[in-house]
Amino acid sequence: MATIASISITQPSGDPNINEAQTFTFGVTNVSGLHGGMNYNLFFQWDQGLGDSPSNYVTIPTSGALSCPDADLLNQIAKDLEVSVTITGNTAGSYFIRGRTIDNNDGGAEDLTGTQAVTVNAAAGTNELNFERGVHRGVARGAPRGIS
């Protein structure tokens, strides 16, 4: 009977450190323990911004803080194949991602990758004040010189 020997994250190799609305590639490789026909179901998961705890992980949604149109269950993936998807960072924050497989040939045996930190930074200009009166470019009128 074929079994999952290991699963690992191939991309990103480190925190992609992206800005809001930017993307990164999330790739996973699964290696089977034996020869022969083996396939598995693959899930791309994230911690929902709740922290790197096993109970926080769910499939990356099609919309949300991190999103992916393809991260839902991928069925019947061939063994020893890298599979990658594109993830969009929509909301600034710190997240963790991981891959999860379920072996179709071994009674549903499960394996998990390690985790990878992902930082999504706020888009430029989202914290600037720019008012007509009272405050201009974040500086109060009448502020002492040298203070901005």
Architecture of the domain spanning 4-140: Sandwich (2.60)
Q: By percentage, how much of the chain surpasses pLDDT 70?
A: 68
> What's the average model confidence in pLDDT over 80-97?
91
| pTM recorded for the entire structure | 0.76
For residues 70-93, give the mean pLDDT.
81
pLDDT above 60: residue 142 = no
Per residue in 35-81, pLDDT (tens digit) is 455 677 888 999 999 999 999 999 999 999 999 987 665 776 766 67
For the chain, what is the mean pLDDT? Answer: 79
In sequence order, what DSSP letters do the residues of 21-77 get, joined into one string? T-EEEEEEEEEESSSS--EEEEEEEE-TTS-S-GGG-EEPPSSSSEE-TT-S-EEEE
Residue 133 to residues 68, 77, 92, 127, 129, Cα–Cα distance (Å): 42, 60, 30, 18, 11
**Domain ranges for the chain:** 4-140
